[in-house]
Amino acid sequence: MIPEIKNHKSIRKYKNMPVPESILNEILLAATRASNTGNMQTYSIIVSKDETKREQLWTAHFKQNMVLQAPVILTFCADINRFSAWCKLNNAVPAYNNFLWFYNASIDAVLASQNAAIQAQNADLGICYLGTTTYMADKIIDILELPVGVIPVTSIALGYPDENPHLTDRLPLDAIVHHESYREDSDESILAFFSEKEALPAMIKFVAENKKDNLAQVFTDVRYKMEDNLHFSQKFLDIIKKQGFL
């Protein structure tokens, strides 16, 4: 029975079991069937199974243990290198070294990654997206030897789950969905949208542990601070330029 997509969970603990090559290939094939810009597939997927390579990636990904535990790490990259080379080989002049095509290729990569995630879940595997990919893109570029025209966008830890966590909370549908045009919500509505999240015991504990007045302050003052946001934003812009997209 195929798992319901609404039951998706992020898995951070994995069994010491390899992913069979046949299953991994099905996941990768599913990724390549994702929608993409102009059917140009301006993305690449780096498969990392080697223990030494995963240890290097573990360091780059802020030493999150799931990167060592999971037998496979998939790194999804925006890639204008391959398509540009094909154009040049056919006496065509590529014009993809710009921000528009960084954006297009990034969308392609993320769509491919979600197809892979769904196929993995269908094969009773667990996955966890690694948001640290863009934070540490420079290190990952070096580890994976990515050429100009290729930049990591997102990564997935992949393997057999060694935990069964509860479903994480989500905002109500009314908070996310707008009909016909964008709806500016009232202050009361916005507070109501987040009230269920704020009332969760884990979130109350989270606020107390961080010695803040409320959950919003945990996000702004601890998890995603302004100085960090500005630092990593500039760092990533520099990397985008270095990799030939600007």
Summarised one tens digit per residue, pLDDT across range 6-27 is: 999 999 999 999 999 999 999 9
- Three-state secondary structure call for residue 176: helix
Cα→Cα distances 153→18, 41, 125, 184, 208, Å: 25, 14, 22, 31, 34
What structural domains does the chain harbor?
A: 7-166 (3.40.109.10), 173-226 (no CATH)
What pLDDT score was predicted for residue 21?
98
Is the pLDDT at 78 greater than 80, yes or no? Answer: yes
| CA separation for the pair 207, 212 (Å, rounded) | 6
Mean pLDDT value across residues 132-146: 98
| CA separation for the pair 100, 78 (Å, rounded) | 12
| CA separation for the pair 200, 196 (Å, rounded) | 7
What pLDDT score was predicted for residue 179?
98
Is the pLDDT at 1 greater than 70, yes or no? Answer: no
The band of 3, judged by pLDDT with boundaries at 50, 70 and 90, is: confident
The band of 158, judged by pLDDT with boundaries at 50, 70 and 90, is: very high
What is the chain's mean pLDDT, rounded? 97
What pLDDT score was predicted for residue 4?
87
Q: Note the pLDDT tens digit of each residue in 96-137.
A: 999 999 999 999 999 999 999 999 999 999 999 999 999 999
Backbone region of residue 200 per phi and psi (left: phi > 0; alpha: psi in -120 to 50; beta: other values): beta
Mean pLDDT value across residues 203-223: 97
What pLDDT score was predicted for residue 116?
98
Strands (E), 59-214: 72-79, 126-130, 150-159
67: number of Cβ within 10 Å: 24
| CA separation for the pair 25, 90 (Å, rounded) | 30
Q: Note the pLDDT tens digit of each residue in 37-74.
A: 999 999 999 999 999 999 999 999 999 999 999 999 99
